[in-house]
């Protein structure tokens, strides 16, 4: 599409909030949009799959994506949840790279992609774009380092609490009973994201349910007392003893 994607209200909002476009002028952003290739992805379909040549850098405009990876043992691991305005597929900026994970649509999605040659050309024309992309990659690396530190040093209960709070910030929707993680999330997904066993995560969530911190169902988690999870995540004193498993 020579003219780029139509700037609906949802797409315009994603563009405005994306750090990729920070400090770029309206004309520069328009040039970026025209240079990108729009992709619509049906629910449960893949935008790209693990092991494929990394052909494009993407910006999610609408919908939500799961970034998932299959381990050598055949286990599927949920790595990230992508929401509108987020950049992903950044390994494209490295030549002859393969996608280390797959991007699968949770619902119908629209993404904008730039191949390596196009992105290099745009970065040469607009140094601010190159700085923004570098900053996003650096932030992603910092996040990965933080996750590694959590796995190496923190109790499972803290890791689970931190993961739920991150998902709440990303996809949380306030309802009468608390904050609903508006994303299909199973206990298996949570175990994968926290490097814990399904049995341990199930014990922790069941303990939190008894305490009134959360309410969980099939691929649904409602945070009833967010401050209680913050106390666990930050290892702060709580107003009453926690009876759930500590490890």
Residues 123-179: tens digit of each pLDDT: 999 999 989 988 888 888 888 788 777 777 789 999 999 999 999 988 889 999 999
Tens-binned pLDDT, residue by residue, of the chain (247 aa): 434 555 566 677 777 778 888 898 888 988 988 999 999 999 999 999 999 998 899 999 999 999 999 888 887 888 889 998 888 988 777 667 889 999 999 999 999 999 988 988 999 999 999 899 888 888 888 887 887 777 777 899 999 999 999 999 888 899 999 999 988 888 888 998 888 899 999 999 999 999 999 998 878 899 999 999 999 998 776 554 444 444 4
Closest CA to 245 of 215, 214, 205: 205
Structure tokens at 116: 């390596």
Q: How far apart are the C-alpha atoms of 131 and 62, rounded to whole Å?
A: 25
On whether the CB atoms of residues 179 and 170 are closer than 8 A, the answer is: no
Structure tokens at 113: 């992609």
On whether the CB atoms of residues 60 and 88 are closer than 8 A, the answer is: yes
């Amino acid at each position: 599409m020579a003219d780029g994607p139509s700037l609906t209200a949802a797409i315009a909002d994603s563009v405005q909030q994306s750090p990729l476009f920070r400090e770029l002028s309206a004309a520069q952003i328009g040039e970026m949009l025209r240079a990108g290739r729009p992709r619509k992805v049906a629910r449960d379909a893949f935008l790209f799959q693990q092991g494929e040549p990394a052909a494009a850098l993407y910006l999610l405009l609408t919908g939500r994506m799961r970034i998932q990876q299959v381990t050598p043992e055949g286990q599927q691991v949920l790595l990230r949840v992508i929401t509108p305005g987020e950049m992903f597929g950044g390994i494209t900026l490295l030549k002859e790279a393969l996608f280390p994970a797959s991007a699968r649509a949770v619902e119908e999605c629209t993404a904008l992609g730039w191949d390596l040659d196009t992105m290099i050309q745009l970065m040469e024309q607009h140094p601010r774009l190159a700085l923004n992309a570098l900053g996003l990659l650096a932030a992603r690396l910092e996040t990965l380092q933080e996750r590694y530190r959590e796995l190496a040093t923190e109790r499972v209960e803290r890791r689970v609490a931190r993961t739920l709070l991150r998902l709440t910030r990303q996809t949380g929707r306030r309802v009468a009973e608390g904050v609903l993680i508006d994303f299909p999330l199973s206990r298996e997904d949570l175990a994968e994201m926290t490097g814990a066993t399904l049995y341990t995560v199930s014990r922790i969530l069941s303990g939190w349910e008894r305490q009134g911190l959360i309410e969980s169902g099939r691929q649904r988690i409602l945070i009833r007392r967010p401050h209680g999870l913050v106390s666990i995540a930050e290892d702060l004193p709580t107003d009453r003893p926690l009876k759930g498993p500590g490890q």
